[in-house]
Structure 1
């Protein structure tokens, strides 16, 4: 196969010789916005991230038949075109799930254990006990999107004694959850949950899935975590409901960077991070394994 590999795969150069030894021809270029180092017609397969944001997939004519993404999401790829032309596409499933699940757990504990308050007191050398700390044990957790990321979240929250349920468009039996419900049960589960974690993909159906009506159904003290895609949450509806919520952890936003003038930055019960939950030292090793394993199947 004629493979075009971009710098989105950090360790690509370490594997090119092996890939070529397996019978593939390779062109590598670092930055996906740059001009291709070959003709579009030459390319039969690509390993990339956002290549099709700046290079129209239609320019690859009919020869493109394989796509390997370095991201977990498919939202940077024209999936209708991919399906129409029967192009095999793989994502980086499982690569970022562990650090993202750890991040979700960190966010809840930061709020429950008043980490920010203790940090500020430490800076000012203030010895002040905080009596109103919360426990994770026994809390009802609803994970919306029970794929690889959601399931890694489920494992960790169950280990803390939480009661974990899931919402997914494809309900199934899974020992990591008490039960996985269909999307039609989302509002009911939100009403009952202490913690709601969003780990679902962004599609036309999930855009602003968490809207004003659903936010208002959340009970007082609920914590909402979004480590999925920013557009899943109607940020304006969320802002108006914050006094009622126990807190929110937002790692993703509909527009990034997040507007520096937004009042959410300064709210005490809000944790804002710059689309960083995926980061972990094991990612490169896991991504290398996924890419090379998938290449053996073509």
Structure 2
């Protein structure tokens, strides 16, 4: 197969010879916005991330295989991919561990008032906090029970939490004590102390967290978003944080980078720059996924 590989696969050059030994022809494009090092019609397979944002998929007239280095499909014209019968794989499982660790660490940071302790450390202030919260015994509702959601469930369960899930499909993963379908989301939110969003962004899920759904959340609860920013209507989140929520752990936003927003200065809000997926094991896992998928072509 003639494969175009982009710099989105960080270890690509280390595997070029191995792919050629398997009978593939390979060309490399470091930056996906640049001109291709080959003709569009030459390409039968692509390993990349957002290449279709700069190069129309229709130009790849012989395309039959796509491997994404992202977990989400939102940068891909999926209707066209399905219509043409093009095989597509995502990076399922590659980023799940670091994202789950991030979710648990973020909630713990809020519960243990780490922001306040760090500020006191800078000022050399010795001040005990008598109102710290515990994870143990809390109900964690994970909305989106795929690979990332299951890894989150595993970690929160280890802290003694009760785990519930909301998804289109029921999972048999043992960490979930109860599963809800998406049409029962509000029912699940009413019982949760912590809500973790790990589901993809679609037309149906855009702004799913809005004034109405925030109204269903418990007073004093926490929301974590490690999926896509547009799952949450930002202005409604700000209002909910001011009126009833304990806090939020936010790695993704409707507009990135986050501009002038009241979220920056809220006491119980943790903001990170779309960074939750980063982990020291990512490159190894990504390369294993790519190679394994190609061996089954």
Do they fold alike, i.e. is TM over 0.5?
yes
In 1, Cα distance between equivalents of 2:86 and 2:208: 29
Matched, 1:118 2:113: no
Q: Are the equivalent residues in 1 in contact too, given 2:145–2:171 (CA < 8 A)? A: no
Q: How far apart are 1:185 and its partner, in Å?
A: 1.2
Aligned to 1:7: 7
Matched, 1:250 2:226: no
Aligned to 1:189: 188
* Within-5 A mapping of 1:10-29: 10-29=10-29
Long gaps (5+) in structure 2: none
Bigger mean CA offset, 84-93 vs 180-189: 180-189
Matched, 1:237 2:236: yes
Aligned to 1:35: 35
In 2, Cα distance between equivalents of 1:281 and 1:145: 24
Aligned to 2:156: 157
Q: How far apart are 1:218 and its partner, in Å?
A: 1.0
Q: How far apart are 1:172 and its partner, in Å?
A: 2.7
Aligned to 1:96: 95
Aligned to 1:130: 129
Q: How far apart are 1:292 and its partner, in Å?
A: 0.4
Matched, 1:69 2:68: yes
- Give the root-mean-square deviation of aligned CA atoms: 0.6
In 1, Cα distance between equivalents of 2:241 and 2:296: 48
In 2, Cα distance between equivalents of 1:170 and 1:263: 36
Q: How far apart are 1:285 and its partner, in Å?
A: 0.5
How many pairs are equivalent? Answer: 296
Aligned to 1:85: 84
> What secondary structure sits across from 1:104 in the alignment?
helix
Q: How far apart are 1:241 and its partner, in Å?
A: 1.1
> What secondary structure sits across from 1:181 in the alignment?
strand
In 1, Cα distance between equivalents of 2:202 and 2:69: 19
In 2, Cα distance between equivalents of 1:182 and 1:172: 11
In 2, Cα distance between equivalents of 1:59 and 1:160: 50
Aligned to 2:206: 207
Q: Are the equivalent residues in 2 in contact too, given 1:68–1:91 (CA < 8 A)? A: yes
Q: Are the equivalent residues in 2 in contact too, given 1:174–1:180 (CA < 8 A)? A: no
Q: Are the equivalent residues in 2 in contact too, given 1:173–1:179 (CA < 8 A)? A: no
Q: How far apart are 1:255 and its partner, in Å?
A: 1.0
Aligned to 2:288: 289
Aligned to 1:45: 45
1:206-237 per-residue CA deviation (whole Å, 9 max, x = no partner) reads 00011110011111110000000000000110
Q: How far apart are 1:164 and its partner, in Å?
A: 0.1
TM-score using structure 2 length: 0.99
In 1, Cα distance between equivalents of 2:165 and 2:245: 20
Following TM superposition, the consecutive aligned residue runs of length 4 or more in structure 1 with deviations greater than 6 angstroms are: none
Aligned to 2:264: 265
